[in-house]
Every structure is written in C-alpha cells, then in structure tokens.
Amino acid sequence: MPPAPAGTVASDPLADPGPVPHPSLVSPSSVPNADAASTDPSHSSTAPYEPPQPSGSLLLAWQTKKLSILLIGGGAVAASRLYHLLCAQPARIVVLAPRDGTCDEVSWRLTSDHPEAVAGRAGIAVEWRERALEDKSIDEEIEGFDMVLTALDDAPLSRAVYTACKARRVLVNVADVPPECDFYFGSTLRRGALSVMVSTNGKGPRVAARLRRRLEKALPDNAGRAIDNVGLLRAGLRKRENGGDKETIERRMEWMIRVSDRWSLAQLGEMDDRMRDAVLEGWERGEAKGYWDVNRSKCCGLGWVASLFARAGVGRCPVDRDPDGTALKCPFVMTSTGFLLGLATAGTAAAIWARR
C-alpha cells in the first residue's frame, strides 16, 4: 500500500480514527466547545468555543537546559525547589545557604556520594555557596543568573532580592511573597518524562497538593513508562523519516495519531524494542499497528483473534473510543444495554400478562 496522503485520517480501513484529531489537522472552525462535554455543573456556557478561564497564569513546560539558576535558602521549601530544579536539568544550579540551618535533604542532594544523589546531579553544574546572603552583596550574588528562587524566612531580604532581580530583568520566585513572583510553583507529580502540575494560582496550595495526590492515585502505575515509550517510538519514526516539508510533517503526525490511539496506556507501558520495530515497519505502508497486531503469537496464537477484535473495536466504547476505556465502563453502552434489557423484560411481562 502506498504511504497515506497527507491530511487523511484512515488509510487503513480497519484502523480506528481515534477520539480527537490533532488541531492542526482539522479546520479551526470545527473545534467544538469543550464545555459542552464538561462535567462541571458550574460551566453553563453556550459559547461555541471554550471561554477563557481567568486564572492569571500560563502553565508551560519550561526548557531550562541552558539556564543558570540561583536558589537562596536551605530549608524545607528550598529542598522542594531543589528537587524540582534537578528534575528540570538546567545547565547550572547554585545554592546559597549557610551550612548551619540547611536541612538534611538539601545537603544530601548537593553533596552525598549515594549513587542516586550522584545520578540526580549528573550533567548539571551544581555548587553550594555555604554562606548567608547579605543585603549589601545581593547584586554581586545574583550576577550571571537567568533565574533566582528565594526560600528564606526573611521577607525584607527576599523583597530586596526581588528588587535587584527586576532591575536586572532576571526572573524571580519569592516563596513567601506571591506578589513578587514572576511565576509560581505548583504541586507537581513526576513519573519519567510525564509531569502533571496542579496550580491554584496562589489561592490554595494545600488543596493543590491534595488534588495532586488524588491524581497520583488515579494514574496507572506505568503511565510514566508509557510516555517514555511513546517518546522512543516518535524518535524511531524521526530516524526513518526526518523530512521537514509540510507534507511529510502532516503524514508523520497523522500516523502517530493513529498509532497512539490504538494503544492503551498499559500496552504502551509494555512496548519494548521488538514491538517498537514492528510498529515502525507499518510506517511505509501507512499502517497503524496496535498492540495485538505486533503480538499475534501471544497466548498460543490467540493474539490473532485479539488483533481482529481490536481492529473491529470490540470491547471499546463506540462513542468516545478511548483506548483506555472499556465497554463495561462506558455509560453509553451500559445505559443502552440497561434500556434494552428493561424493554425485553417489560415486553416479556406484557406477553405473559396478555396470554392469561
């Protein structure tokens, strides 16, 4: 089969078109108002498009690999900041805090020989300036940094840092003075390359943490691995087809959408090198292989049957077609099944009653 023409959604007749096409592949006017499907009863908009939620902040995945970041303070808040900074893997992290008063976690992350502490610092120039910040030396201390974070128990000193940073156009977060922050931290859960941040924009950080814990419990165990494996698949696709022209980009995205929508998170979490290569073999023909298509010999050959069933959408909700959903949990399937059963029961009762 020749490669799929750009912009088409299903070159494989049995392939699932998937729940939502990529925004770049549909005309903007066909994007529906997500509110219509919202389960939040406070949303009663009839606007055709999602009305802006005035939260006051822009959530972004900030790429920090070229940044030099200064963290001032060494207490519990600084420990949390340091953990998130290490996850972000900037070029350089400098902590400015006297040894006396610095908590164990901060000093462990900065100096321990424990293999995990060492791995956590890998590739980052990490430095601990073991001294206290003084008012008169602020300008000197912040020199050369792209971002400054303060986690001090000294509000006037924090404010002075803020003023100095603003004079130099350096981005700053002052943990104890929200109006003097260019950005806020949020409650973030991390699994591999997957991060989810809950932000209440300064309204209720403790509640944000509670919501984050709830999300953590709801997330499948291997969600992080699933995302990492999708990353490897996309990298593999780029190796096969690295073209940058519009048609190639559209074809790559269209194929990735179809493949992504055929694998549940649990199945993605299992995707190993063999499965990935088998999926990538479908690229040339524009074929989007699902989990069972590349595991047909599994379960004594019953994988073939599962592959046919999966392509026909058996076991999936016919309405949202979510690869992680099952028909048993689909309100549409359950309601219509209940309705048909009710109808059959009422019909049988009526027939029995009419015969008497």
Ligand X SMILES: C[C@@]1(CC(=O)O)c2cc3[nH]c(cc4nc(cc5[nH]c(cc(n2)[C@H]1CCC(=O)O)[C@@](C)(CC(=O)O)[C@@H]5CCC(=O)O)C(CC(=O)O)=C4CCC(=O)O)c(CCC(=O)O)c3CC(=O)O
| Alpha carbon distance 226, 231 (integer Å) | 9
Return the DSSP state at 318: T
| String of contacts with ligand NAI for each residue 202-241, x by CB under 6 A | ---x------------------------------------
The DSSP string of 123-179 is TSEEEEE-S---GGGHHHHHTT-SEEEE--S-HHHHHHHHHHHHHTT-EEEETT-GG
Q: Which does 264 bind (CB under 5 to 8 A by kind): ligand NAI, ligand X, none?
A: none
By CB under 6 A, name the one of 127, 139, 153, 216 that touches ligand NAI.
153
Q: Let me know if 176 is a catalytic residue.
A: yes
- Helix axes 246-260 and 223-240, enclosed angle (nearest 10): 150
| String of contacts with ligand NAI for each residue 4-43, x by CB under 6 A | ----------------------------------------
The closest alpha carbon to 270, from 295, 302, 301, belongs to 295
Under rule CB under 6 A, residue 130 binds ligand NAI: no
Return the DSSP state at 293: G
- Helix axes 273-281 and 223-240, enclosed angle (nearest 10): 40
Under rule CB under 6 A, residue 77 binds ligand NAI: yes
| String of contacts with ligand X for each residue 191-210, x by CB under 6 A | --------xxxxx-xx-xx-
For 21, the token pair is: 């096409």
Cβ distance to ligand NAI smaller for residue 181 or 330: 181
Please give the residues from 58 up to 87 whose contact with ligand X meets the rule CB under 6 A: 80
- Phi, psi for 123 (deg, rounded to 5): 80, 0
Active-site residue, selected from the candidate residues 12, 35, 154, 176: 176
| Alpha carbon distance 330, 72 (integer Å) | 51
| Alpha carbon distance 315, 163 (integer Å) | 60
Least distance (Å) between residue 99 CB and ligand X: 23
Cβ distance to ligand X smaller for residue 196 or 249: 196
Of 27-35, 169-177, 265-273, 348-356: span binding ligand X (CB under 6 A): 169-177
Cβ distance to ligand NAI smaller for residue 110 or 133: 133
Q: Tokens 């003084």 map to which residue? A: 134
Q: 191: which strand partners?
A: 194
Under rule CB under 6 A, residue 101 binds ligand NAI: yes
Q: Tokens 């509110």 map to which residue? A: 35
Applying CB under 6 A, the residues found at the interface with ligand NAI are: 72-78, 96-98, 101-102, 132-133, 151-154, 157, 175-176, 205
Tell me the catalytic residues: 176
Applying CB under 6 A, the residues found at the interface with ligand X are: 80, 173, 175-176, 178, 181, 184-187, 199-203, 205-206, 208-209, 212
